[in-house]
A = this chain, B = another copy of it.
Amino acid sequence: MKNVKHAKCVKCGKIYKAVPDLTNCSCGGILDIVYDYGYIKTVLTWETLAARRDYSMWRYRELLPVEETTAAPPLRVGWSPLYPAPRLAETLGIRKLFVKDDGVNPTASLKDRASSMAVAKAREAGAKVIACSSTGNAASSLAGNAAAAGLETYIFIPSRAPKGKVAQLMTFGATVISVQGSYEETFELSKAAIEKWGWYNRNAAINPYLSEGKKTVGLEIMEQLGWEVPDYIAISVGDGCTIAGLWKGLKDLYAIGLIDRLPRLISVQAEGCCPLNRAIASGGDWAPMEENTLADSIAVGVPRNADKALMAVRESNGLAVNVSDQEIMAAQKLLGQTCGVFGEPAGVTGTAGLKKLCEQGVIPADAAVVSVVTGSGLKDVANAIAFCGEPVSIPNSMARLTEAFAARNAGQGKI
């Protein structure tokens, strides 16, 4: 890899050769991929990108840690839409807002970015089997991306994973192990099994290549904004890998001169499970918490990528905010009604946090903000229905329809 120098432990600084099956440092720290920005700068410019026709995350190959000969995996991941959201901006009282809808990825979440990278690296490693533990989205995205590439998957999920994600896994033909316990226990069992059977490891807090896939969401946001840097980017946080990846992408672009400043990150967690935000607020270390939120994808009591995530928020002079489940579900509806975007609870948690900070007057009215929606609401319809209510139910009768409208004052008197 001409563009990659090596991997480096974020804890002890130890250097590793960037082989395809890298895991954690011997000290237990997570590795970070170090690039040769001097070289990349000479090949990746605004102009070379503008001329490119690959509208997927693989359009940023020079910033991705793969061999030049490695083919992009089959599913078309990335280049999700970045929507201007003027009506939502007005509701929140800010000047400019964009919504990045990562729910339209092939398996309907941002995790496809990491899984596409996992498939590419597993192929480089000559692996035939990939395994991971996941609260659900990493699992279904791995199962889908691997199935398309003809690779086998072993997947560990906590028994609470919502049905939509389980249906995906089973359909993609993964071997699925539902662990009767927390995500933490699920993770530990997957780790032991991966060690025992030698499968390729797609746990994002162990395999340092995965956040390099996730960072493409940041690369895309900047290119889609015409390299005009927003003031803030709000995103939900669980394990910490996604916000760490986002930050890596932004720093990459800054390092090669494609952007001239960096936005501030807004790290949003659920009140019932916010170990990272608690650490940011206290300025100290993180400690485990219970997993007490309906936003299943970010119900992570023992965040596995705490180091990179905390570093990202702190380096960016970022903000941390926690939201209640009620605030999350209200944000889901608000996004749906003002933007036509239906995100899963964890997917809209970033928007919920942004809303809260706007209401608290923390975000200045002239700010330009991007809110990342990390997964589709179709992954978890039970919660959406519980919050939104059921439709009017009537027989085929105009009289009954007119009555129903009158009773509910539908359309606020518009009929």
Q: Which residues of A contact B (CB under 8 A)?
A: 55, 74-76, 81, 83-84, 87, 101, 104-108, 129, 143-150, 152, 154, 157, 159, 163-164, 166-173, 175-181, 185-186, 188-189, 192-193, 196-197, 332-333, 336-342, 376-379, 381-382, 384-385, 388-398, 401, 404, 410-411, 414-415
Q: In the bound complex, how far is the Cα of B178 from the Cα of A393, in angstroms?
A: 5
- Which among A107, A173, A193, A342 has the greatest number of chain B C-beta atoms within 10 A? A342
Q: Which residues of chain B are within 8 angstroms of A410 by Cβ–Cβ distance?
A: 154, 175
- Residues A392 and B176 in contact in the complex (CB < 8 Å), given A164-B381, A378-B168: yes
Instruction: Determine the distance from Cα of A106 to Cα of B104 in the docked complex, in whole angstroms.
Output: 6
Q: Which listed residue (B154, B163, B180, B388) contacts A395, Cβ 8 A? A: B180
Residue of chain B at shortest CB distance from A108: B378
Chain B residues with CB under 8 A of A193: 398, 401
With A107-B342, A171-B333, A384-B167 as contacts: A391 and B189 at CB distance below 8 Å: no
Q: In the complex the two chains form, is A342's CB within 8 Å of B401's CB? A: no
Given that A381-B163, A396-B180, A410-B175 are contacting pairs, would A83 and B75 also be in contact in the complex, using a CB cutoff of 8 Å? yes
- CB distance B177 to A378 under 8 Å? no
A-B contact pairs, 24 of them (CB 8 A): A75-B340, A76-B81, A106-B340, A107-B340, A143-B340, A144-B342, A147-B337, A157-B391, A168-B336, A168-B342, A168-B377, A168-B378, A170-B384, A171-B332, A171-B333, A171-B336, A171-B337, A175-B392, A175-B410, A177-B391, A178-B392, A193-B398, A376-B378, A378-B379
Q: Are B396 and A181 in contact (CB under 8 A)?
A: yes
Bound Cα distance from A186 to B401, whole angstroms: 12
Q: What is the count of identical protomers in the complex?
A: 2
Cβ A340 vs Cβ B144 within 8 A: yes
Give bound CA distance, A274 to B109, whole Å. 35
Contact B381 A167 (CB under 8 A): yes
Contact among B145, B192, B391 with A178 in the assembled complex (CB-CB below 8 Å): B391
Residue of A75, A192, A333 most packed against chain B (CB within 10 A): A75
A117 CB to nearest chain B CB (Å): 15
CB distance from A265 to the nearest CB of B (A): 25
Contact flag A401-B173 (CB < 8 Å), given A340-B144, A381-B163, A391-B178: no
CA distance A81 to B145 in the complex (A): 14
Give the distance in Å from the alpha carbon of A76 to the alpha carbon of B197 in the complex. 43
Q: A104-B105, A392-B177, A414-B129 are in contact. Are A385 and B332 (CB under 8 A)?
A: no
The residue on B at minimum CB distance from A163 is B381
**Are A170 and B389 neighbours in the complex by a CB distance under 8 Å?**
yes
Interfacial chain B residues near A185, Cβ < 8 Å: 396
Inter-chain contacts of A338 with B (CB < 8 A): 147
- A159 to B393, Cβ gap below 8 A? yes
In the complex, the answer to whether A388 meets B340 with C-beta atoms within 8 Å is no
- For the complex formed, measure the closest distance between the CB of A249 and the CB atoms of chain B, giving whole angstroms: 21
Contact yes or no, B147 A336, CB < 8 A? yes
Chain B positions within 8 Å of A336 at CB level: 144, 147, 168, 171-173
| Contact between chains at B404 and A340 (CB < 8 Å) | no
Q: What separation, in Å, do the CA atoms of A339 and B144 have in the docked complex?
A: 8
Contact for A377 among B171, B332, B342, B397, CB less than 8 A: B171
Distance, CA A401 to CA B185, complexed state (A): 13
Taking CB atoms, residues of chain B closer than 8 Å to A107 are 340, 342
User: Cβ of B176 and Cβ of A391 under 8 Å apart?
Assistant: yes
CA distance A107 to B378 in the complex (A): 9
> Which B residues touch A197, using CB under 8 A?
415
From the candidates B170, B180, B341, name the one contacting A393 in the complex (CB within 8 A).
B180
The CB with the most chain B CB atoms within 10 A, among A83, A149, A415, is that of: A415
Point out the residues of chain B lying under 8 angstroms from A196, CB to CB.
Answer: 398
